[in-house]
């Protein structure tokens, strides 16, 4: 095995944090979601496609802050636009600043489903707003979901502290299972306010899936048949798969869509966009307000990010890099003859281990990701990664080579 990383400072900070913050760190960033004792727990800085932890170890960052980093860390052009707004105009006021209209006009121009839009701060804000809109528009109650939609009461997987009545009207179907959705709609269709689905499937710890022919079209048809609002959760796919979202890439336009993550390259912003007749419930019927939703810094960052994405053809470059990386990794998997699968090309690379009756995969998975992090490639055992614009060809070549070395190392366990 390769040499273990020096993580003393990170571990010390973690012990300190345990006394200060419940669990030390929130949710998905806690050590048990990686390989405890092998992964850093605190990052100190980042630039481009790389991150440096609290102990000074540098990694190729292929998790990209769980998705928001579409171009790279510390992009000067974006940060300078934000600094100019902060210094010259200010950003938190009792009334909204004009930048709101400029960003809204841009989203409406780019996204097929967007006739009107509203801005929020997080993906969970956006998905929950979309559900409130759908229920108000249809005067129906139930929601049928497919995918991860955030941490709010109606959709969070961990139910601690949440009364059952707050999620009992949320039903679930699996991605690419149109028959499963049809059965749910036969039972509940008359009372389904919304069907919300991630247009790219990314279930936790399982392979990333692209839509089978007719799947998204079938979902749209079922929603229309029963008078339900179709919502695409494009928090991860938006401004990564296509400038108009996965809906434009796959040619299926929903009634509402939610966007976030990559839209502002790390700045906290989300958006709900959709048909005007549906969005109009926000004018009087639905209450939506927050002190910080109108803050302009994130809107400036989003406009500048979108400008750069368009100007420099960023998404086509990422797609090309992603396919090239995928081809190399798939060849490595074939050559090493290991029980793993590669999915998510070209946007969301993920290496998963095939489950077996002897449960060897439960030993191989942490062993593989231990080898990979020791070789300074930052990916996550239970969550797909991302390709960013600042990942150089050399970075991705190195990452693929380290995947090969790591697979060959753990092959000795078989």
Query: Model confidence over 321-346: pLDDT tens digits?
Result: 999 999 999 999 999 999 999 999 99
What is the domain-level CATH number for residue 341? 3.90.1150.10
Confidence at residue 2, expressed as pLDDT on a 0 to 100 scale: 84
Gap between the Cα atoms of 70 and 60, Å rounded: 14
Gap between the Cα atoms of 2 and 22, Å rounded: 33
Confidence at residue 31, expressed as pLDDT on a 0 to 100 scale: 96
- Tokens for 69? 């980093």
- Kindly report the pTM of this predicted structure: 0.96
Last residue of a domain, one of 311, 330, 352: 311
Q: Is 203 inside any structural domain?
A: yes
Structural domain span for residue 21: 8-73+314-413
**Residue 68 · residue 386 · CB < 8 Å:** no
Same domain, 190 and 43: no
- 16 sits in which H/E element: helix 8-20
Same domain, 89 and 196: yes
Same domain, 357 and 408: yes
State percent of the chain over pLDDT 90.
Answer: 98
Q: pLDDT confidence of 44, banded at 50, 70, 90?
A: very high
Please name the residues in contact with 105: beta carbons below 8 A apart, sequence gap of 6 or more. Answer: none
Instruction: Compute the average pLDDT of residues 246-264.
Output: 98
**Residue 239 · residue 262 · CB < 8 Å:** yes
Q: How many domains does the chain have?
A: 2
Confidence at residue 204, expressed as pLDDT on a 0 to 100 scale: 83
Confidence at residue 382, expressed as pLDDT on a 0 to 100 scale: 96
Same domain, 89 and 66: no
Last residue of a domain, one of 311, 338, 365: 311
Q: Where are the beta strands (DSSP E) in 91-183?
A: 116-120, 142-146, 170-172
Q: Is 2 inside any structural domain?
A: no
Q: Is 86 inside any structural domain?
A: yes
Q: Is 264 inside any structural domain?
A: yes
Same domain, 339 and 380: yes
Confidence at residue 1, expressed as pLDDT on a 0 to 100 scale: 72
Last residue of a domain, one of 273, 290, 311: 311
Same domain, 93 and 186: yes
Q: Is 55 left (phi over 0), alpha (psi -120 to 50) or beta?
A: alpha
Confidence at residue 414, expressed as pLDDT on a 0 to 100 scale: 82
Q: Is 270 inside any structural domain?
A: yes
What confidence tens digit (pLDDT) does each residue in 194-229 have?
999 999 999 888 999 999 999 999 999 999 999 999
Same domain, 268 and 326: no
Q: pLDDT confidence of 38, banded at 50, 70, 90?
A: very high
| 69 pLDDT more than 80 | yes
Gap between the Cα atoms of 116 and 221, Å rounded: 23
Q: Is 3 inside any structural domain?
A: no
What is the domain-level CATH number for residue 155? 3.40.640.10
Confidence at residue 25, expressed as pLDDT on a 0 to 100 scale: 96
- Tokens for 409? 């190392």
Same domain, 289 and 344: no
| 400 pLDDT more than 80 | yes
Same domain, 307 and 318: no
Same domain, 143 and 285: yes
Confidence at residue 110, expressed as pLDDT on a 0 to 100 scale: 98
Instruction: Compute the average pLDDT of residues 274-289.
Output: 97
Q: What is the DSSP letter of 385?
A: -
Same domain, 21 and 96: no
Same domain, 301 and 209: yes
Q: Where are the beta strands (DSSP E) in 48-191?
A: 50-53, 58-61, 116-120, 142-146, 170-172
């Amino acid at each position: 095995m390769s040499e273990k990383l020096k993580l003393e400072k990170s571990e010390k900070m973690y012990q300190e944090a345990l006394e200060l913050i419940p669990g030390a760190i929130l949710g998905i960033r806690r050590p048990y979601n990686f390989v405890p004792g092998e992964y850093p727990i605190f990052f100190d800085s980042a630039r481009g496609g790389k991150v440096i932890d609290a102990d000074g170890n540098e990694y190729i960052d292929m998790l990209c802050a769980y998705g928001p980093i579409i171009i790279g860390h510390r992009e000067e052009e974006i940060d300078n636009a934000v600094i100019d707004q902060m210094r010259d105009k200010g950003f938190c006021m009792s009334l909204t600043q004009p930048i709101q209209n400029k960003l809204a006009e841009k989203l409406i121009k780019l996204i097929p489903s967007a006739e009107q839009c509203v801005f929020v701060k997080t993906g969970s804000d956006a998905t929950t707003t979309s559900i409130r809109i759908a229920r108000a528009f249809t005067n129906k109650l139930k929601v049928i979901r497919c995918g991860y939609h955030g941490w709010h009461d109606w959709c969070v997987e961990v139910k601690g502290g949440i009364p059952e009545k707050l999620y009992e009207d949320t039903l679930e179907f699996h991605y690419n299972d149109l028959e499963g959705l049809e059965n749910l709609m036969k039972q509940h269709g008359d009372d389904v306010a919304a069907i919300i689905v991630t247009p790219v499937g990314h279930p936790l710890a399982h392979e990333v899936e692209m839509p089978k022919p007719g799947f998204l079209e079938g979902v749209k048809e079922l929603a229309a048949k029963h008078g339900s609002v179709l919502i695409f959760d494009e928090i991860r796919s938006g401004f990564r798969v296509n400038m108009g979202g996965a809906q434009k890439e796959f040619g299926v336009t929903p009634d509402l869509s939610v966007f976030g993550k990559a839209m502002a390259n790390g700045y906290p912003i989300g958006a709900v966009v959709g048909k005007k007749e549906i969005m109009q419930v926000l004018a009087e019927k639905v209450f939506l307000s927050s002190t910080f939703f109108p803050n302009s810094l994130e809107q400036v960052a989003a406009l500048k990010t979108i400008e750069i994405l368009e100007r420099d053809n960023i998404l086509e470059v990422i797609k090309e890099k992603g396919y090239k990386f995928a081809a190399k990794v798939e060849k490595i998997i074939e050559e090493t003859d290991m029980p793993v699968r590669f999915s998510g090309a070209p946007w969301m690379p993920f290496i998963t281990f095939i489950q077996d009756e002897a449960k060897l995969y439960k030993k191989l998975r942490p062993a593989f990701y231990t080898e990979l992090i020791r070789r300074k490639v930052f990916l996550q055992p239970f969550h797909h990664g991302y390709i960013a614009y600042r990942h150089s060809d050399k970075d991705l070549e190195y990452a693929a080579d380290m995947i090969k070395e790591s697979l060959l190392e753990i092959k000795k366990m078989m």
